[in-house]
């Protein structure tokens, strides 16, 4: 099978550009010599008690009737940021918002969220409504990070606020795995994010 040529040699691409390309994720990733696997990921989960989550759930539920979630910024501010701030309380990780990253003309842009605890990190890409193209953008961001991180396995997640999808890159195998189960439960979601950061 012939490899589809998508990226133009004389053109510059940001992470957002990959979200806007009308091609399938596996074809885009092949441009970087990566393969995409869709499979159940065995995601790490923390064992520490997450006692404050019921209060967070209630706060979010209380304000949802009064907020329109029709754009990406509204979803990030209302649904994503409160969860990530809660994660910081549990694991004392560092969070960067709109983190700039520039590797070359094909791998550059801003990461919505970059969470780091010791040697573990998690990239989170927040989108308005398209998880499929959002995952493509996330995968490219993980490829970019693999150029500067020492670890060969990195995790990422794409979210529209109430639905999260995780992915993992293995740069030594040049492989990205897209998790085919989507956690919707806040307890499970926070346990996974903290587990990744703790390196469980």
Convert the pLDDT of each residue in 169-195 to its tens digit. Answer: 999 999 999 998 766 688 888 888 999
Retrieve residue 143's tokens: 């490829």
Q: What pLDDT score does 129 carry?
A: 81
Question: Which residue in the block uniquely carries the two structure tokens 């390309």?
Answer: 21
**pTM, to two decimals:** 0.91
Residue 115 in contact with residue 95, Cβ under 8 Å?
Answer: yes
12-41 confidence digits (pLDDT tens)? 999 999 999 999 999 999 999 999 999 999
For the chain, give me the number of helices (H) and strands (E)? 7, 7
User: Which of 53-69 are b and which e, b meaning 16 or more Cβ less than 10 Å from the residue's Cβ?
Assistant: beebeeebeeeeeeeeb
Q: What pLDDT score does 130 carry?
A: 86
Helix (H) / strand (E) containing 167: strand 164-170
pLDDT < 50 regions, the chain: 1-2
Q: What pLDDT score does 93 carry?
A: 95
Q: What pLDDT score does 1 carry?
A: 45
Q: What pLDDT score does 119 carry?
A: 84
Helix (H) / strand (E) containing 34: none
Q: What pLDDT score does 5 carry?
A: 86
């Amino acid at each position: 099978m012939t490899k589809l040529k998508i990226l133009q040699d004389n053109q510059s691409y940001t992470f957002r550009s990959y979200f806007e390309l009308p091609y399938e994720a596996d074809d885009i990733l092949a441009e970087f010599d990566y393969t995409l696997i869709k499979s159940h990921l065995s995601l790490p989960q923390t064992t520490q008690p997450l006692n404050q989550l019921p209060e967070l759930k209630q706060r979010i539920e209380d304000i949802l009737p009064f907020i329109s979630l029709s754009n990406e910024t509204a979803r990030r501010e209302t649904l994503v940021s409160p969860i990530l701030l809660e994660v910081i309380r549990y694991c004392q990780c560092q969070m960067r918002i709109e983190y700039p990253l520039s590797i070359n003309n094909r791998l550059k842009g801003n990461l919505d969220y970059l969470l780091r605890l010791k040697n573990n990190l998690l990239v989170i890409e927040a989108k308005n409504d398209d998880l499929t193209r959002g995952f493509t953008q996330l995968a490219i961001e993980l490829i970019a990070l693999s150029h500067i991180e020492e670890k060969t396995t990195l995790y990422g997640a794409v979210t529209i606020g109430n639905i999260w999808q995780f992915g993992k890159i293995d740069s030594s195998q040049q492989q990205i795995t897209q998790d085919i189960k989507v956690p919707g439960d806040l307890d499970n979601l926070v346990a996974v994010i903290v587990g990744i950061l703790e390196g469980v």
